[in-house]
């Protein structure tokens, strides 16, 4: 079972040529990515007037999510840190513009120009410190700050994330709120371990009626059937990092001092003139198990 890619290597190294090719040649991953980005676009709730918007795809990778945006007629700019993934995106003739950049360094876009942002399975990478100069908190702050600035007022950002644990989710959400976003987490299929997907739905500006967080899919009753293998390869394994397993009971392997040692000591005490019990067959004998 593959463990989380975040735990294996930094993104620009993990998604090398091989991994990028693998990622994009798997029809299952393509299918999942398409579904995720479709849902993200739905949550973005752009006005339904047929006008193409300028969207941002953060962690666009090989442009799988961008394809969904193109299919819906939007223009997009994609940002990714992995050159290999972007090369594949070029091969796939992604329609949007691609930028090689690190979201943790801030986005470097003019203020108020972007109509909406999506990000599929990328933001949790920010919680890792892959270089000595990386400080997750500073990187999260830079990311959300610059995202907030570049979005038009009232625009939304939908970030699909795989937080490793509760603390990570709170960390990410906390920095989003501190940057000025309102919104929250939408969880699709919360009752299913495999189908469960989390989206951070953030709105630029103070909370209002329009920025109410939409409901997740399959929240009530609707069973997220697990036969539908719509889990992401990235997350097939259950994370064990925050599980507190009791340590194996260590065997107390103390050196037990034997009968000889006891006899010697008793002899010593006798020579000193102390009152010492007689040596018998019981001396230094082990007690029975149930004493």
Partner 1 sequence: MRLLTHNMLSSNIKGVTNGFPLRIEVEKVVEKEVDLNMDFLRNMFAKIEWKALVEASRTMGYSELPDDAESSMLDSDEFLRKFHHALLELHLEEGALVCPETGRKFPVNKGIPNMLLHEDEV
User: In the range 45-104, which residues lie near partner 1 by CB under 8 A?
Assistant: 50-54, 73, 75, 77, 81, 83, 86-87, 90, 97-102
Tokens coding 126: 């920010």
User: How many angstroms separate the CA atoms of 66 and 91, rounded?
Assistant: 14
**In whole angstroms, how close is the CB of 146 to partner 1 at the nearest point?**
8
Tokens coding 265: 């000591």
Does residue 106 bind partner 1 (CB under 8 A)? yes
Which of 32, 44, 55, 114 touches partner 1 by CB under 8 A? 114
**In whole angstroms, how close is the CB of 179 to partner 1 at the nearest point?**
16
How many residues of this chain interact with partner 1, rule: CB under 8 A?
34
**In whole angstroms, how close is the CB of 96 to partner 1 at the nearest point?**
9
Sign of CA dihedral 112, 136, 121, 11: positive
Does residue 13 bind partner 1 (CB under 8 A)? no
Radius of gyration of the chain (CA): 29
Choose among 229, 119, 40, 16: nearest CA to 24. Answer: 16
Other C-beta atoms lying within 10 Å of the C-beta of residue 165: 13
Tell me whether residue 81 or residue 204 sits nearer to partner 1 (CB atom).
Answer: 81
Which of 107, 122, 155, 179 touches partner 1 by CB under 8 A? 107
User: How many angstroms separate the CA atoms of 132 and 56, rounded?
Assistant: 29
Choose among 4, 9, 21, 15: nearest CA to 81. Answer: 15
**In whole angstroms, how close is the CB of 29 to partner 1 at the nearest point?**
22
Residues that bind partner 1 (CB under 8 A): 50-54, 73, 75, 77, 81, 83, 86-87, 90, 97-102, 105-110, 112-114, 131, 133, 142, 146, 150, 152
């Amino acid at each position: 079972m593959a463990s989380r890619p975040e735990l294996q290597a930094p993104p620009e190294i993990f998604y090398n040529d091989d991994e990028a090719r693998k990622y994009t040649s798997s029809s299952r991953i393509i299918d999942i990515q398409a579904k995720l980005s479709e849902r993200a676009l739905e949550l973005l709730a752009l006005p339904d007037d047929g006008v193409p918007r300028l969207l941002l795809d953060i962690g666009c990778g090989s442009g799988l999510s961008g394809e969904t945006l193109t299919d819906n007629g939007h223009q997009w700019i994609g940002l990714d840190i992995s050159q290999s993934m972007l090369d594949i995106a070029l091969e796939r003739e992604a329609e949007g513009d691609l930028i090689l950049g690190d979201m943790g360094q801030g986005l470097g876009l003019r203020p108020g120009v972007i109509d909406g942002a999506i990000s599929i399975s990328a933001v949790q990478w920010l919680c890792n410190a892959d270089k000595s100069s990386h400080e997750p908190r500073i990187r999260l702050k830079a990311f959300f700050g610059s995202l907030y600035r570049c979005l038009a007022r009232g625009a939304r950002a939908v970030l699909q994330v795989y937080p490793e644990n509760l603390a990570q989710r709170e960390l990410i959400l906390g920095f989003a709120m501190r940057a000025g976003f309102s919104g929250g987490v939408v969880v699709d299929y919360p009752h299913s371990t495999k189908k469960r997907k989390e989206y951070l739905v953030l709105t630029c500006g103070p909370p209002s009626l329009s920025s109410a967080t939409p409901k997740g899919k399959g929240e009530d009753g609707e069973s997220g059937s697990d036969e539908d293998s719509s889990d992401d390869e990235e997350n097939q394994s259950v994370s064990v990092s925050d599980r507190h397993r009791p340590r194996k009971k260590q065997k107390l392997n103390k050196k037990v001092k034997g009968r000889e040692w006891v006899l010697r000591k008793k002899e010593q005490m006798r020579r000193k003139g102390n009152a010492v019990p007689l040596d018998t067959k019981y001396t230094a004998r082990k007690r029975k198990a149930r004493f």
